[in-house]
Structure 1
Amino acid sequence: MKARHSVLSLGLLCIPAGIVYGASQQVLGFQDTILSAIGIDGLPWPFFGSADEKKGAETLSKCNVPFEVLDLLSHAGVQSADCSAAAHLAESLHDTCSKHPGCHLAGPKDNAKPSSDKKDAGWRASKACAIARFLLEPSSAVMQASEYGEAYEAAVRVNWSKDCWLQPRCILQPSSAEQVSWIMQIIQYTGTRFAIRSGGHNPNRGWANIGDGGVLIDTSRLDEVVVSPDASTVEVGPGNRWIRVYEKLEGTRRSVLGGRTPDVGVGGLLLGCGIPSFSSEFGLACDYVREYEVVLGNGTIVVANQETNADLWWALKGGGSNFGIVTKFVLETIPVDRIWYEARIYGPDESRRLLRAVREYQAAAEEDEKASFAFSLSNNHTIVAFVYSAPVEFPPVFQMFRDIPFQRHFIEPSLGTPYTIAKAFETVLGDRPAFKRDIIAVSTKPDLSLYEEGYDRWLELSKDMMGQFDCMMTFGIQPVTSSAIIKSNARGNPLNLSPEGQQWYTSVIQWQDDKFDDLAHQAVKTSGGAVREIAKRKGILLDFEFLNDATWDQHPIASYGEENVRKLREIAQRYDPAEVFQKLQGDGFLLHKMP
């Protein structure tokens, strides 16, 4: 395992060598003072110089911390500081000092602690937030509800599902891999629970947000998109939405395998592997990650590619958030530029005819790799999107839909680019209403009788649910051709996909009222369970469960097979021996949760 940065072993944390913010010249002298006082190797925090530099800064004399800490800070030239952060600093210094017999630093005053129980999750989170305030620049990179009010609430509401609108003790918004490294070291040092968010599209509660007992690492400031001079690769930060990546590649005559919905985040989709358009030609989205930059649980920054840390490179292609925080993806681009696309809205009377057309399309798509397709049926309407990776208007592969009456266009037939179709979807989707949402994932071989019987069961279920509470459900068939699977397998990932044509079924439910949470979850479980039961009876059920569409009590990584699960566990242990991502991460499809 090769680390990109060396680290200094510090008394409180490990921080990448040579990185000090704030009064750097004075800090060096202050380190000498600390060295002689308590024998630690240095200090990892920057300091405040004036009350104007940091929001919430106070004159040090007003802070309720021991005299010795005030004296040490004043020796560093610090005249003002955030008092909450100073209190946590005092407590941390005391903890370190208590381990050295020659140290006589007094402990922090009792009323300087936000909690008397140091094992309390909220106390740990407060401590992590306070230390982060010293480390992260600008100060707004650490958002707390008490200080940032509306901005904090807006950051909470980024998540697609209202079920994920939780209230973390603070929201940390790092702008570099180094800052993510500091955060992970703070988390490990304080034992604080955490969640990671890219775009927040996963609807499972606790996956991309966390409550008051933890901190949220929001990667939205890790938003660089850098196209190589020959456009063969593009470096993408996890805080990007896919539409921005497509926009940056506009005019290069190349694109990437990414999200079909423009507002989906880069990080979550790629770590779950992702179904892109153009999969029949190239494979799945994760297969085109040339390199990852990853911050491990101990704060070490590493790269993973085919030559360096190749086991980690393999594991991240569908292994989720079990190994580290990816701070940069280097994506291989694909030679796709001019394309044709169209999206239609059909009425509910056409549902059964559409199901027959879907099955006919799947057969036709096995012979035409340029075709891509999306299908989502609800009680009120069905949306079907057609995409073709060449400038050919309504190609024959979609002819089975040509004569089915539709209500209107969702997106007009167009010749364009991957960016223009993303922009078109962004325009028609607009600001989508906020709902609580849940989802399910099941994979099967293609079969019309399965679709028809599954639809009948879904229709009965959805009508029953709509009669009990205000909700909407979808019935989604996602065709994945044998070509897509074979090309994905050839590039290597842990998914263990069967090399044949298949469909990845998903059903989404959305609702508002909290009191129906359990009923809504049971509805999607019943919908997926019906498809699974029918497919099993017909002998066409596949083991694979698509991580990006799985609900919270599924175990998609277990569907990768015993051998690959064993490898993933070994890799997780190798790169995260302290199990930071298993024990401190709030929730997710984590290896330690698997049966």
Structure 2
Amino acid sequence: MSFLRTVLLSSVALGSSTIRIPVGASSSDPLTACTILKTTYPNITLLPQDEGYVNETQKSWSAAAWLTPACVFAPSYASQLSLAVRVFANTSTAFAMRGGGHMPIADAANINSSGVLISSTNLNTLRLSDDNQTMSIGPGPRWGDVFEYMDGTNLTVVGGRLAPVGVPGLLLGGGISHYSYKHGLGSANGKIKAYEAVLADGTIALVTGDNEYSDLYWALQGGGNSFALVTRFDLQTFYAGTPLMAEASYGNSNATRDAWLAAVLDFAVNGDQDTAAALIPVARWGPNFTAPSYESTLFYNGSAAPTSGPFTTFFEETTLKSVNASSTLVPRTLAQYAKLLRPAFGPGGPGYGLRQKFRVVSTAATAEAMNIVHDTYFDAVRSSGIANRLPGFFTGLAFNAITRTFAEASAGTPQNIPAEPAFWIEESLTWESAEDDAEIEEWVRNVNVEIETKLAAVNGTSRYVYLNDADKGQAVFEAYGEESLKRLRSIRVKYDPARVFTDLMPGGFKVDPATSA
């Protein structure tokens, strides 16, 4: 291989073999790195012509993220990933790393032919410790896999709400869970006991809150992918029996609109009364709709439904009436729920192969702010005719209600979440064709300019921007506050002075803006 004779080489021993890595190579041609990886690990390095390449590059939820990297590297061990990071750094090769692939931003967890995709498929650790106190999870499983593995143990972790969501993306952004109304973000307050991570120089580190990497531990609780590549999360378990769940649909009348918005607001403001309750309230619009339809995923961590408090409005069938008694709470494990959802997101499912987009709007927990977002957004859908004009179009607003207890239980993380009720409203859009990408982008941009202008006029915004639902270009880390951002940037410099995870790994939100090419 002629390129190996044209660069200075160093030898790195791994087990019984010696791997030769180019040092200080100036070329950024990814074929150099791909050749090294294919030669060293032929069975876990996939070139475009190899069987399995297409499957690995099309695992992302959004078809807009189905890119064509120069090769795919799927390590099974941290030591293999360590070598790859050193190869990328020493050959100036761009790369991306994919966990579950749920983030719809096209290059957040994939890359085109200019770089290498690291797949987490084989980093698939699922292990419950002998004392049942620690659940160790690799970046390859999705939350459905985690809950199916834990099924029958009467134990759980503060993990994702939906089966297809990946483990690393959720936790590195903080992570909303059904259990967050009691425990806060999935990353907060020691719920992640340790991270095993590959650093920018190839070091494999066990990162905890009380060892020499305690500053890095703090950053990983919400700092995204600017610091390290995590190969294992060790999560604190806790007892939880079979929860009660329901998928409630309430119809689309004006009376339903008013009752549903009022109930969601009441939950945000007063939901602290019962931290066993959680909900995902979504207003949706699709083809031939004349008004939004209103739904809620209901979750209660208890054996009997509550009889008082804001949560009861969603199932007691008084002011808010469900269709066909769909609000009836029934025992359902998270594993059972995962099995119900998974087919919809896989090959052959109704959402597979479509294009997706998120954007988050953070507001104060007031009726005025809710009405501005709801009415402005759906008025724009109606007036534009976009739902009937674009094939496969569907959209929704998920009013993620953040209670004071939720925010307070998330203290001590980089996010610096204000300790007050709020909404992190996720705008979600689905469509079919790449030909409509530009129209979707323009529509989202225009409606959010209008929403943000109206919110600002009534002091209806909330500072924090939730990374996991953010759109490309949103100021995620600036919203953490100046002091938190300054600390994150200093930690990034300490552990990655060469900016490997910023400049060579350009996808995702960065605490430091990437330098110009």
Q: Scaled by the length of structure 2, what TM-score is found?
A: 0.89
Instruction: Give the conservation status (yes or no) of the 8 Å contact 2:247–2:297.
Output: yes
Equivalent residue of 2:155, what SS? coil
Q: Structure 1: how far apart are the matches of 2:495 and 2:176?
A: 27
Q: Which moved more, 1:402-411 or 1:373-382?
A: 402-411
Instruction: Give the helix-richer structure, 1 or 2.
Output: 1
Aligned pair in 2 of structure 1 residues 184, 457: CA closer, same or farther (>3 Å)? same
Q: Structure 2: how far apart are the matches of 1:594 and 1:11?
A: 28
Aligned pair in 2 of structure 1 residues 399, 257: CA closer, same or farther (>3 Å)? same
Q: Deviations over 1:177-205 (max 9, x none)?
A: 00000110110111100001000000001
- Greater Rg by CA: 1
Q: Structure 1: how far apart are the matches of 2:81 and 2:342?
A: 30
Amino acid in the other structure paired with 2:232: K
Q: Structure 1: how far apart are the matches of 2:396 and 2:403?
A: 22
Aligned counterpart, 1:303: 206
RMSD: 2.4
Instruction: Give the conservation status (yes or no) of the 8 Å contact 1:344–1:408.
Output: no
Q: 2:133 aligns with which of 232, 252, 259?
A: 232
Aligned counterpart, 1:292: 195
Equivalent residue of 2:178, what SS? coil
Instruction: Give the conservation status (yes or no) of the 8 Å contact 1:436–1:512.
Output: yes
Q: 2:278 aligns with which of 359, 369, 372?
A: 372
Amino acid in the other structure paired with 1:373: L
Q: Structure 2: how far apart are the matches of 1:396 and 1:319?
A: 38
Aligned pair in 2 of structure 1 residues 252, 551: CA closer, same or farther (>3 Å)? same
Deviation at 1:140, TM superposition (A): 2.9
The 5-angstrom pairing of residues 275-424 of structure 1 reads: 275-287=176-188, 288-308=191-211, 309-349=213-253, 350-380=256-286, 381-393=293-305, 395-397=307-309, 398-401=311-314, 402-403=316-317, 404-408=320-324, 413-424=329-340
Aligned counterpart, 2:394: 472
The answer on 1:460 being equivalent to 2:382 is: no
The 5-angstrom pairing of residues 140-289 of structure 1 reads: 140-148=43-51, 151-287=52-188, 288-289=191-192
Q: Scaled by the length of structure 1, what TM-score is found?
A: 0.78
Higher relative contact order by CA 8 Å / sep ≥ 6: 1 or 2? 2
Instruction: Identify unmatched segments of 5+ residues in structure 1.
Output: 1-9, 22-42, 46-88, 97-117
Deviation at 1:283, TM superposition (A): 1.1
The 5-angstrom pairing of residues 84-95 of structure 1 reads: none
Q: Deviations over 1:150-197 (max 9, x none)?
A: x21121110011111100000100000000001101101111000010
Q: Structure 2: how far apart are the matches of 1:158 and 1:277?
A: 25
Q: Which moved more, 1:471-480 or 1:233-242?
A: 471-480
Equivalent residue of 1:347, what SS? coil
Q: Deviations over 1:246-297 (max 9, x none)?
A: 1222222210011101111001100011110111211111111111111011
Instruction: Give the conservation status (yes or no) of the 8 Å contact 2:506–2:514.
Output: no
Instruction: Give the conservation status (yes or no) of the 8 Å contact 2:363–2:369.
Output: no
Q: Structure 2: how far apart are the matches of 1:258 and 1:228?
A: 17
Q: Structure 2: how far apart are the matches of 1:511 and 1:546?
A: 23
Q: 2:440 aligns with which of 520, 526, 547?
A: 520
Instruction: Give the conservation status (yes or no) of the 8 Å contact 2:249–2:327.
Output: no
Equivalent residue of 2:187, what SS? helix
Instruction: Identify unmatched segments of 5+ residues in structure 2.
Output: 1-6, 287-292
The answer on 1:448 being equivalent to 2:367 is: yes
Instruction: Give the conservation status (yes or no) of the 8 Å contact 1:203–1:437.
Output: yes
Q: Structure 1: how far apart are the matches of 2:47 and 2:328?
A: 44
Percentage of identical aligned residues = 27
The 5-angstrom pairing of residues 71-86 of structure 1 reads: none
Aligned counterpart, 1:44: 19
Aligned pair in 2 of structure 1 residues 290, 409: CA closer, same or farther (>3 Å)? farther
Equivalent residue of 1:519, what SS? helix
The answer on 1:566 being equivalent to 2:471 is: no
Instruction: Give the conservation status (yes or no) of the 8 Å contact 1:12–1:189.
Output: no
Q: Structure 2: how far apart are the matches of 1:479 and 1:201?
A: 21
The answer on 1:482 being equivalent to 2:398 is: no
